[in-house]
Amino acid sequence: MRVIVVGGGVAGLTAADAARCADAEVTVLEARDRLGGRLHTLPFGSGTIDLGAAWVHAPVGNPVADAIAAAGIETRNDGEFGAPMAVWDGGWMEAPEATTVTSTLLGDWDPAEAQAAVEGDRFIDGIDWFLADRELTGRAADLARFTILNIIGGLVIAGAPERISLAGAAAYADGSGGNLVLAGGYRALVDALAAGLDVRLGTTVSAIEHAGPGVSVVTDQGTFRGDRAIVTLPLGVLRAGSVAFDPPLPAPQASAIQRLEMARLEKVAFRFAEAFWPDSIWEITHVAENGAFPAWFDFSRHVGTPTLLGFFNPLLGPGLEAMSPEERGDAALETLRAMFGSVPAPEGTVVTDWEHDPCSLGSYSYIPLGAGVDDMRRLGEPVSGRLTLAGEATVPEHYGTVQAAFASGLRAAAATLGAPPERLSLGPVPPDWLD
């Protein structure tokens, strides 16, 4: 069997590796000049920084964490989000209080509980119910609203908060075990999955023909023919229609693509000669009415030099959406100066712009109002015996994560091969990886 895999991110590489280990002839087509897709590890200071996914969230029972261990890749566990925490809301909340309040809040907020209590499906209505139900007032209420609206909504789900589906947020399955960072960045996993594969970089797909007994994938480097195709294009690229399907995708998949939306999470990383922030603090919540640059993390332990990593949603914050990456970096630096006063010029700066990357057109998927978990499930159903779609947007329990991409790659390989994959090049595939 000859399998053509479109897309060299984790979903595509996992599917390709599984098919290869089942003795299929596999070719991976990737438009970028690198593998990894929305995983992108860059040298930064004396270490590396991940511009896309940075953590393995909730590693207990997470097949990505198991695969990383099987590959012999070292990790460091940053622990649970919210501790140790600092909060700035025009002045500093004492670190022990900030950690206690934020950790309690993150553990108490449950979108499924809010969904059951409110009419309609608006995420912001769920927040209002939560504040009233918990009888929160004053500074605690302000911090709770800001955290759920601008960090959970604006950064974790990363849509426009008024567009987020409460049911979609409730569908996400929380786990445990903290948050792992890979030594050397996520590139280590990408390299492990890709080793030995037939990969064609710089190959842009324009059409996929799947009406005949096989498939033809039309690219700017010629046409590739095979028996089966696995397409792992990001939701943003599918929504843009830059790849034509002949025949067109069936109505269930086509309508799901248009109902789901891409999130707008971006990052800014600053490397400094010396740290000017307390070394006892890992995470900072920057409370501002406009929601600009609300979350910062000390990544010095991972980079090897003093580094702050900021997260932002261009939809939140005055003028951010219209700014260039360089201007966004300047605005982020002004946010640090508002918190810390005098801040030296950074020795290195990186600002992401996933929204305008033509190979992604956004950071990852989310479920907006008017869409539902079934849209993600339908998107991952085989189109035919010859064509299957995969990617993080097809797994409603973990959308937006590497875990979803990995799981979808295994699922697509099973649909393509006609049987669950038994092995990856990293080792055997346990049955629970396929649940």
Domain that holds residue 247: 2-37+186-261+370-434
Q: How far is CA 287 from CA 83, 131, 311, 352, in A?
A: 17, 17, 13, 22
Strands 387-389 and 228-231: parallel
Q: Which residues pair with 309 in a beta bridge?
A: 269, 297
pLDDT by residue (tens digit) across 372-422? Answer: 999 999 999 999 889 999 999 999 999 999 999 999 999 999 999 999 999
On whether residue 84 sits in a domain, the answer given is no
Does this model's pTM top 0.75? My answer is: yes
Q: Does residue 250 have a pLDDT over 90?
A: yes
On whether residue 348 sits in a domain, the answer given is no
Specify whether 108 is located in the same domain as 131: yes
pLDDT of residue 76: 95
Specify whether 157 is located in the same domain as 196: no
On whether residue 313 sits in a domain, the answer given is no
Choosing from 141, 171, 201, the residue where a domain stops is 171
On whether residue 419 sits in a domain, the answer given is yes
On whether residue 270 sits in a domain, the answer given is no
- pLDDT averaged over every residue in the chain: 95
pLDDT of residue 105: 79
* Whether 41 contacts 184, CB under 8 Å: yes
Choosing from 171, 194, 218, the residue where a domain stops is 171
Choosing from 171, 204, 236, the residue where a domain stops is 171
pLDDT of residue 294: 95
On whether residue 381 sits in a domain, the answer given is yes
Structural domains of the chain, count: 2
Specify whether 229 is located in the same domain as 161: no
Burial letters 207-226, b for 16+ CB under 10 A, else e? ebbbeeeebbbbbeeeebeb
On whether residue 139 sits in a domain, the answer given is yes
pLDDT by residue (tens digit) across 87-140? Answer: 888 888 877 788 787 877 778 999 999 999 999 999 999 999 999 999 988 888
Cβ neighbours for 336, distance < 8 A, ≥ 6 positions apart: 270, 296, 308, 343
Task: Give the span between the Cα atoms of 332 and 336, in whole angstroms.
Answer: 7
State the CATH number of the domain containing residue 253: 3.50.50.60
Q: What percent of the chain has pLDDT over 70?
A: 100
Specify whether 255 is located in the same domain as 192: yes
pLDDT by residue (tens digit) across 335-382? Answer: 999 999 999 999 999 999 999 999 999 999 999 999 999 999 999 999
Specify whether 99 is located in the same domain as 158: yes
Q: Which residue has the higher pLDDT, 253 or 93?
A: 253
